[in-house]
Amino acid sequence: MIYYHYNFGEFRRQRMRVKSLLVCGSIFSALLLGACGNEEDEKESVSTTSNQEVTEENDSEKLEQEQESGPILNTFLAEDLDADVEVVFTNKNPELKHAYSDDVFIQIDEYQIVHVTNMAESSKTNFDGEDEGYVLTYKMTLVNDSDEDVFYAGGVSLLSDDGMDYIIPRNYLVAREQWLKDDSTDNPSQYSKQSSFTGMNAHAMTTEQFNKLVAPTLTIDKLFLNDDVSQRLGENAVFKIPFNEEGTEKAAATSQLYADQMVTDNIAEKELFFEKTDINETKNIDGVEITLNGVQYADVIPTEANKPRFSNFGDSDLVALTAKITIENNSDTPFEKAFVDRKLIIDENRGTMFNEGMLEPAYRGLLNPGETEEYITVFLFRKDEFGIYKKLELQVGPLKDSKAAPLFKESSVTFDLPMDI
**165 and 228 part of one domain:** yes
Where helices occur in 36-93 by DSSP H, the ranges are: 40-69, 76-81
Same domain, yes or no, for 95 and 30?
no
- The pLDDT value given to residue 377: 98
- Torsion sign across C-alpha atoms 330, 260, 318, 308: negative
Coil, helix or strand at residue 243: coil
Per-residue pLDDT, 231? 87
Do 314 and 243 belong to one domain?
A: no
**Which residue would you say has higher pLDDT here, 404 or 32?**
404
Note whether 354 and 218 are same-domain residues.
Answer: no
Asked whether residue 332 carries a pLDDT value surpassing 70, the answer given is yes
CB 264 within 8 A of CB 238: yes
- The mean-pLDDT minimum among 7-16, 74-83, 177-186, 402-411 falls in 7-16
Residue 400 has pLDDT above 90, yes or no: yes
Q: Is the pLDDT of residue 258 over 70?
A: yes
**Alpha carbons 169 and 163: distance in angstroms, whole number:** 16
Task: Give residue 139's pLDDT.
Answer: 97
Q: How many CA atoms lie within 13 A of 353 on its CB side?
A: 22
What would the pLDDT profile of 129-145 be if each residue is shown by its tens digit? 999 999 999 999 999 99
Query: Measured over all CA atoms, what is the biggest interatomic distance in the chain, rounded to whole angstroms?
Result: 92
**Least confident residue range of 30-34, 136-140, 204-208, 255-259:** 30-34
**Within-domain flag for 253:** no
Task: Summarize the confidence of residues 395-413 as an average pLDDT.
Answer: 97
Residue 65 has pLDDT above 70, yes or no: no
pLDDT at 401 (0 to 100):
96
Q: Assess whether 225 and 338 both reside in one domain.
A: no
- pLDDT higher than threshold 70 for residue 20: no
- 77 vs 46, higher pLDDT: 77
Residues in contact with 392: Cβ distance below 8 Å, sequence separation at least 6, in sequence order: 321, 344, 345, 346, 416, 417, 419
Residue 224 placed within a domain: yes
Handedness of CA 54, 57, 62, 63 (dihedral sign): positive
* Degrees to nearest 5, angle at CA 277 with 271 and 283: 135
Q: How many CA atoms lie within 13 A of 230 on its CB side?
A: 2
Residue 54 pLDDT > 70? no
Query: Structure pTM?
Result: 0.72
Query: Looking at the structure, do residues 396 and 273 belong to the same domain, yes or no?
Result: yes
Say yes or no: 99 and 220 in one domain. Answer: yes
Q: Final residue of a domain: which of 10, 38, 69? A: 69
- Interacting residues of 362 by C-beta distance below 8 A, sequence separation 6+: 338
- pLDDT at residue number 202: 97
Q: What is the pLDDT of residue 263?
A: 92
User: Is residue 259 in a domain?
Assistant: no
First-last CA distance in the chain: 41
Buried b (16+ CB within 10 A) or exposed e, 87-112: bbbbbeebebebebeebbbbbbbebb
* Pair 15, 148 in one domain: no
The mean of the pLDDT values for the chain is: 85
Residue 375 contacts residue 295 (beta carbons within 8 Å): no
Rounded to an integer, the average pLDDT of 53-78 is: 59
Q: Is the pLDDT of residue 40 over 90?
A: no
| Predicted local distance difference test score (pLDDT) of residue 43 | 40
Total domains present in the chain = 3
One domain for residues 232 and 270: no
| Residue 77 CA, distance from chain mean position | 26
Residue 257: inside a domain: no
User: From residue 3, how far is each of 94, 143, 296, 330 by CA, in Å?
Assistant: 11, 27, 33, 49
Tell me, rounded to whole angstroms, the distance of Cα 355 from its chain centroid. 24
From 69, 103, 121, the end of a domain falls on 69
Residue ending a domain, choose from 69, 85, 120: 69
Domain holding 60, by residue range, is 2-69
Q: Residue 207: which H helix or E strand, with range? A: helix 207-211
Count other C-beta atoms under 10 Å from residue 258's C-beta: 23
Question: Residue 279: inside a domain, yes or no?
Answer: yes
Residue 235's CATH number:
2.60.40.4170
Whether 254 is covered by a domain: the verdict is: no
pLDDT-derived band at 421, boundaries 50, 70, 90: low
Condensed to tens digits (0 to 9), the pLDDT of residues 193-240 reads 999 999 999 999 999 999 999 999 999 999 999 999 888 898 899 999
Tell me what pLDDT residue 35 has: 40
Each residue of 145-197: pLDDT tens digit?
999 999 999 999 999 998 889 998 999 999 999 999 999 999 999 999 999 99
pLDDT at 388 over 80: yes
Backbone angles phi, psi at 370, to 5 degrees: 90, -10
Are 137 and 239 members of one domain? Answer: yes
Domain match, 270 and 127 both: no
260 in any annotated domain: no
Residue 85 belongs to a domain: yes
Cα 72 to Cα 4, 62, 75, 118, 212: the distances in Å are 15, 16, 6, 17, 23
Q: Residue type for 71, please? A: P
Q: Per-residue confidence at 316, pLDDT binned at 50, 70, 90? A: confident
Are residues 318 and 400 located together in one domain of the fold? yes
